[in-house]
């Protein structure tokens, strides 16, 4: 892949991430102030959007001056240069499934499914999709899903006293 094409791909990816960070920032600014938190309920999303914006600007900056700085031979995004490393298999269908599962998880929470059960189902689906589907790995994925769902629910509900949906 030519250096010019690689730089263009990096710049486009950086612009997309920057747009997502900007949208997230605007949505977080609209959050109402929290009762007990002086920074407000939108603080974490504001910080995350800021971090995403910084990373996107680094990617765009690298793309703009990449040929003069460090002479990068490949895209910062794995697999876009056409040569996939031998020890890493690209699985675009897994990425698409993870995005669809995330949307389904958010929809389940919006429809009133309790947080603990929705989280367990979400983690189990992702764990099952990411493992090699042997009995041992599926059991480990199920255990992580149960521990993760119950653990996060207890952490926020009992320790931090934050009511999750």
Torsion sign (Cα): 36, 41, 46, 47: positive
pLDDT tens digits for range 2-34: 777 878 888 888 899 999 999 989 888 887 766
- 69-114, pLDDT tens digit by residue? 445 555 556 655 555 555 556 678 888 999 999 999 999 999 999 9
Average pLDDT over residues 45-60: 90
């Amino acid at each position: 892949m030519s250096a010019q094409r690689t730089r263009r791909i990096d710049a486009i990816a950086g612009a997309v991430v920057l747009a997502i960070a900007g949208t997230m920032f605007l949505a977080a600014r609209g959050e109402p102030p929290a009762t007990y938190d002086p920074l407000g309920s939108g603080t974490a999303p504001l910080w995350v959007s800021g971090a995403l914006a910084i990373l996107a600007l680094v990617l765009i900056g690298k793309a703009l001056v990449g040929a003069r700085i460090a002479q990068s031979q490949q895209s910062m995004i794995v697999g876009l240069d056409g040569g996939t490393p031998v020890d890493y298999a690209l699985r675009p269908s897994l990425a698409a499934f993870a995005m669809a599962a995330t949307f389904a998880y958010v929809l389940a929470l919006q429809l009133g499914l309790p947080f603990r059960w929705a989280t367990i189902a979400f983690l189990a689906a992702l764990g099952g999709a990411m493992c090699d589907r042997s009995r041992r790995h599926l059991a480990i994925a199920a255990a992580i899903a149960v521990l993760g769902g119950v653990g996060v629910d207890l952490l926020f509900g009992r320790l931090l006293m934050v009511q999750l949906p």
